[in-house]
Chain A
Amino acid sequence: MAEVHVIGQILGATGFSENSLFCKWGVHTGAAWKLLSGLQEGQTQVDTPQVGDMAYWSHPIDLHFATKGLQGWPRLHFQVWSQDSFGRCQLAGYGFCHVPSSPGTHQLDCPTWRPLGSWREQLARVFVGGGPQLLHGNTIYSGADRYRLHTTAGGTVHLQLGLLLRHFDRYGVEC
């Protein structure tokens, strides 16, 4: 079986209008992939930037996959939420990106979006908070049924991932 190591950090996020942000992340793979070690999902701490506008999480990611096929290459998906001083959480954006497929260190910038809703819901979001959220999390990383959504852009999530591949040459895959 070929093996893939994904080792890196979710560095932080920029470009969000809200201040105190945290991120729930997860990794999704195809059926032929098996997670040998590492956490498949997690949640970062809440970060309130004092200097500048980038929220830093430095959240470590250390995943070890074994796979029998290339289909279903791992995808990382994110939900960025903001927390106000009362402890209420509001959605700031959804985003996903594929794990790189060439070995080495990569800097990734993942754009995010959030569902808009009707003009009433948008007005309510400005004054009261809240706002529409996705019912099924898999819409974040799948293309099916996206045509029903009306969304607006959120900020960008920044990652630094290192990739190590093993035994791919035994199966005739060059990397």
Chain B
Amino acid sequence: MESVVPSVFLLMVNGQVESAQFPEYDDLYCKYCFVYGQDWAPTAVSWTLGPPLIGLEEGISQITSKSQDTRQLLTWNFPIDVTFKSTNPSGWPQIVLSVYGPDLFGNDVVRGYGVVHIPFSPGRHKRTIPMFVPESTSKVQKFTSWFMGRRPEYTDPKVVAQGEGREDIGMSVRKVASLSGPSQKG
């Protein structure tokens, strides 16, 4: 039995950046953005009679402080709402998270980058992703950057989602951020 296979498919992602565990740092905010291949494009899908609801491809969250109780939780509850349109699974979207916070001297420095693919199967998913931060290999450089409040950071966080050029980076792992939410394929 032949069935007509549509050439375009949609991927709808709803969810949130829930919370983070960073034992050493406080007062953090996070930015997310999506990295996807050439055949993918974010799209506006209109479910109601009103104007199309355009999902946001990137966002910056509020600044959160650790809770004063035993959980020591950093919660953002930051919404993610986007729909992608594509003809090809290659280049499946990845979400890149960057977490920033103040250092000892009050400058905003990067505390971690993390990346994960959007899940393939429809349904509810929860992902806990490790965050890492670029580190210079020379000890003098490390001290200078700590002192000046200028940590090495990426000019474009989307680099973390790519497979090429990572061998030139030295990194160290800090802690974890967790994302949760349903995703639908159509």
Contact = CB atoms under 8 A, between A and B. Distances in A.
Contacts of A91: none
B62 to A, nearest CB: 25
A9 B115 CA distance: 9
A42 B174 contact: no
Given A5-B90, A62-B90, A62-B91, A49 B172 contact: yes
A104 B121 CA distance: 7
A61 interface: yes
A46 B23 contact: no
B53 interface: no
Contacts of A22: 167
Interface string B160-178: 1111101111111111000
Nearest to A39: B163
Chain A, interface residues (CB within 8 Å), range: 35 or more
A43 B117 CA distance: 19
A60 B161 contact: yes
Greatest chain A CB density within 10 A among B23, B90, B116, B168 is at B90
A25 to B, nearest CB: 9
Interface residues of B, number: 35
Contacts of B119: 105, 162
Contacts of B78: none
Interface string A79-99: 000000101000000000000
A97 B10 CA distance: 32
B48 interface: no
A12 interface: yes
Name the 3 nearest CB pairs between A and B, nearest first.
A43-B167, A56-B130, A45-B169
24 contacts: A7-B90, A7-B92, A8-B117, A9-B116, A38-B163, A39-B164, A43-B167, A44-B167, A45-B168, A45-B171, A46-B171, A47-B171, A48-B135, A49-B173, A50-B172, A55-B173, A58-B115, A60-B117, A61-B163, A62-B91, A85-B137, A87-B137, A104-B121, A105-B119
Given A51-B23, A60-B117, A64-B90, 18 more contacts: A5-B89, A7-B89, A7-B92, A37-B37, A37-B91, A39-B164, A42-B166, A42-B167, A44-B167, A45-B166, A45-B167, A45-B169, A51-B173, A58-B114, A58-B132, A59-B163, A62-B91, A162-B120
